[in-house]
Amino acid sequence: MTITLYAAPMSSAIPVVHAIEELEVPHHLVRLDLQAGDQHQAAFLALNPHGKVPTLVVEGTPMFEALAIIQWLGDRYGVERGLWPAADASERLEALSWSTWMYVSFGAAFKRWILARSTSDRVDGSPHPEGPAELAISELRGMVAIVDARLASRDHLVGDRFTLVDLIVANGMAYAAVAGVSTNGYDHVDRWLDSVRQRPAWKKAWTME
């Protein structure tokens, strides 16, 4: 199977690079320079009209959206490697829920927080209401607390070993943490995040070396 991944360092492509490394999927990696505008080139827009990374091309068929890509990788390669639950396992239901929750619910609150903060930054000189940013960060912290409670009695989000669900949620939380969504005070989350960060594939994805 011919697979090409279009990615850029420190972008939404990180979790896909991480997943492809964990799964040891043979692939060709194309690094785009987003600052230089590689994503606006006609050849790339023909693959992904949104002009975004990650984009995965599988036997000539392009895919976009990191969550869709990782769920497909899980189905195609993860089940046989024990990194994604089988379609008829009860854990598959949990895997779809937690992974979608990270991108849809946590992701939406994160975006609201980023927007609210940058709006405040743009209003130079004059006081700006902090309400929306405070609301979003408290929602995000509440979501971290829910993950913390789940991890109080288990080492992994789904099943009893590391899966792509841990990968998706840990990458999302770590990315948010870089922007300032601290996990301080949530010790179960921090222990689990540390264990995911120790994985060799994590380093490859975060440095894209």
Ligand X SMILES: N[C@@H](CCC(=O)N[C@@H](CS)C(=O)NCC(=O)O)C(=O)O
* Nearest in space to 116 (alpha carbons), one of 102, 103, 129, 104: 129
Q: How far apart are CA 92 and CA 89, in angstroms?
A: 5
- In whole angstroms, how close is the CB of 1 to ligand X at the nearest point? 21
- In whole angstroms, how close is the CB of 174 to ligand X at the nearest point? 14
Q: Applying CB under 6 A, which residues contact ligand X?
A: 11-12, 34, 39, 51-54, 65-66
When the beta carbons of 9 and 132 are compared against ligand X, the nearer one is 9
When the beta carbons of 71 and 163 are compared against ligand X, the nearer one is 71
- In whole angstroms, how close is the CB of 69 to ligand X at the nearest point? 7
Contact 28, 20 (CB under 8 A): no
When the beta carbons of 16 and 143 are compared against ligand X, the nearer one is 16
Tell me the C-alpha to C-alpha distance, in Å, between residue 153 and each of 37, 77, 149: 46, 29, 8
Contact 201, 18 (CB under 8 A): yes
Q: How far apart are CA 27 and CA 172, in angstroms?
A: 23
When the beta carbons of 5 and 66 are compared against ligand X, the nearer one is 66
